[in-house]
Structure 1
Amino acid sequence: DMDMCSRGYIGTLEQSVLDGRVSAEAVDRACRRVLEAKYRLGLFDNPYKYCDPKRRKKDIFTAENRAAARDIAAETFVLLKNDNGTLPLKKEGRIALIGPLADTRSNMAGTWCVAYTPERYSTLRESMAQALGGKAELLYAQGCNITADERQQKDGEFGKSIKRGDDALMKAEALAVARQADVIVCAMGETAEMTGESSSRAKLAMPDVQAALLAELVKTGKPVVLLNFSGRPTVLTWEQDNVQAIMNVWFGGSEAAHAICDVLFGDKTPCGRLTVSMPRATGQEPLYYNHLSSGRPVEEGAKRYYKFRNNYLDVRNDPLYPFGYGLSYTTFEYGEPRLSAATMERNGGVKATVTVKNTGDRDADEVVQLYIRDRVASISRPVKELKGFQRIHLKAGESREVTFDITPDMLKFYNS
Structure 2
Amino acid sequence: MDQKQLTDLLTKMTLEEKIAQLLQLTSNLHEGTEDQGQITGPMEEMGLTTDMVRASGSVLGLSGAASIIALQQNYMKNSRLGIPLLFMADVVHGFKTIFPIPLAIGCSWDLELAEKSAEIAARESAVSGIHVTFAPMVDLVRDPRWGRVMETTGEDPYLNSLFARAFVRGYQGSALAEDNERLAACVKHFAAYGAAEGGRDYNTVDMSERQLREYYLPAYKAALDEGCEMVMASFNTVDGIPASGNEKLMRGILRDEWGFDGILISDWASIREMIAHGAAEDDREAAYRAMRAGVDIEMMTPCYVHHLPNLIKSGLIDESLIDEAVMRILQLKNKLGLFENPFRGADPERERELLFCDEHRQAAYDLAVKSSVLLKNNGVLPLQPDSNVALIGPFADQEDILGWWSCVGAKEDAVKLGTAMKERISGKLTITAGCNFDSMDAKQLELALDAAREADVIVLALGEESEMSGEGGSRTDITLPKAQLELVQHLKQLNKPIAAVIFNGRPLDLQGIFDEADAVLEAWFPGSEGGAAIADLLIGRMNPSGRLTMSFPQSVGQVPVYYNVFNTGRPMDPSKTGERYVSKYIDSPNEPLLPFGYGLSYTTFEFGELQLSRSEITADQHLTARIRVTNTGARTGVETVQLYIRDMTGEVVRPLRELKGFQQLKLQPGESKIAEFTISEDMLRYHHSDLSFTSDPGRFQLFVGPNSRDCLQASFKLV
- Given the two structures, how large is their TM-score scaled by the length of structure 2? 0.53
- Work out which structure has the larger RCO, using CA pairs closer than 8 Å and 6 or more positions apart in sequence: 1
Report the CA distance between 1:350 and its aligned residue.
1.6
Identify the match of residue 407 of structure 2 among 114, 127, 147.
114
Deviations 1:328-379, CA, capped at 9 Å, x for gaps: 0000000121112111111332211111100101011110100110111111
Tell me: CA distance 1:38–1:214, structure 2 relative to 1, closer, same or farther (3 Å): farther
1:102 alignment partner in structure 2: 396
Secondary structure of the residue aligned to 1:329 is coil
2:553 alignment partner in structure 1: 279
2:654 alignment partner in structure 1: 381
Gaps of 5+ in 2: 1-263, 272-297, 690-719
Report the CA distance between 1:51 and its aligned residue.
2.1
1:53 alignment partner in structure 2: 348
Amino acid at match of 1:128: M
Tell me: CA distance 1:44–1:188, structure 2 relative to 1, closer, same or farther (3 Å): farther
Tell me: CA distance 1:38–1:350, structure 2 relative to 1, closer, same or farther (3 Å): farther
**Mapped pair 1:238 → 2:512:** yes
Identify the match of residue 17 of structure 1 among 285, 288, 308.
308
Question: Which one has the largest radius of gyration?
Answer: 2
- Partners of 1:231 and 1:101 lie apart in 2 by 14
1:6 alignment partner in structure 2: 269
- C-alpha RMSD of the superposition: 2.0
Amino acid at match of 2:671: E
The structure with the greater share of residues assigned to helix is 2
- Partners of 2:672 and 2:336 lie apart in 1 by 41
Give yes or no for contact 2:629–2:675 (8 Å, CA) kept in 1. Answer: yes
- Partners of 2:666 and 2:332 lie apart in 1 by 37
Amino acid at match of 1:2: I
Give yes or no for contact 1:167–1:209 (8 Å, CA) kept in 2. Answer: no
Report the CA distance between 1:169 and its aligned residue.
1.9
**Mapped pair 1:27 → 2:322:** yes
Report the CA distance between 1:131 and its aligned residue.
2.3
Report the CA distance between 1:409 and its aligned residue.
2.2
Report the CA distance between 1:235 and its aligned residue.
1.1
Give yes or no for contact 1:305–1:311 (8 Å, CA) kept in 2. Answer: no
- Partners of 1:116 and 1:33 lie apart in 2 by 32
- Partners of 1:45 and 1:413 lie apart in 2 by 47
Give yes or no for contact 1:334–1:354 (8 Å, CA) kept in 2. Answer: yes
Report the CA distance between 1:17 and its aligned residue.
1.7
Which structure 1 residue ranges, 4+ long, deviate > 4 Å from structure 2?
34-47, 301-305
Secondary structure of the residue aligned to 2:412 is helix
Report the CA distance between 1:44 and its aligned residue.
8.6
Report the CA distance between 1:78 and its aligned residue.
0.6
Identify the match of residue 130 of structure 1 among 407, 423, 433.
423
Q: How many residues align?
A: 394
- Partners of 1:110 and 1:49 lie apart in 2 by 29
Amino acid at match of 1:355: R
Tell me: CA distance 1:220–1:41, structure 2 relative to 1, closer, same or farther (3 Å): farther
Report the CA distance between 1:197 and its aligned residue.
1.6
- Given the two structures, how large is their TM-score scaled by the length of structure 1? 0.90
- Partners of 2:338 and 2:685 lie apart in 1 by 36
Report the CA distance between 1:22 and its aligned residue.
3.8
Amino acid at match of 1:110: G
1:141 alignment partner in structure 2: 432
- Partners of 2:521 and 2:335 lie apart in 1 by 40
Amino acid at match of 2:603: T
2:664 alignment partner in structure 1: 391
2:59 alignment partner in structure 1: none
| Identical-pair percentage | 40
- 1:16-415 to structure 2, matched below 5 A, reads 16-20=307-311, 21-34=316-329, 36=331, 48-83=343-378, 85-105=379-399, 107-132=400-425, 135-148=426-439, 167-299=441-573, 304=577, 306-415=579-688
Q: Which segment is superposed worse, 53-62 or 318-327? A: 53-62
Give yes or no for contact 1:17–1:24 (8 Å, CA) kept in 2. Answer: no
Give yes or no for contact 1:305–1:316 (8 Å, CA) kept in 2. Answer: no
1:152 alignment partner in structure 2: none
Tell me: CA distance 1:281–1:7, structure 2 relative to 1, closer, same or farther (3 Å): closer
Amino acid at match of 2:679: I
Tell me: CA distance 1:37–1:400, structure 2 relative to 1, closer, same or farther (3 Å): farther
Tell me: CA distance 1:252–1:26, structure 2 relative to 1, closer, same or farther (3 Å): same
Give yes or no for contact 2:375–2:522 (8 Å, CA) kept in 1. Answer: yes
Report the CA distance between 1:305 and its aligned residue.
5.6
- Partners of 1:111 and 1:88 lie apart in 2 by 30
Report the CA distance between 1:240 and its aligned residue.
2.6
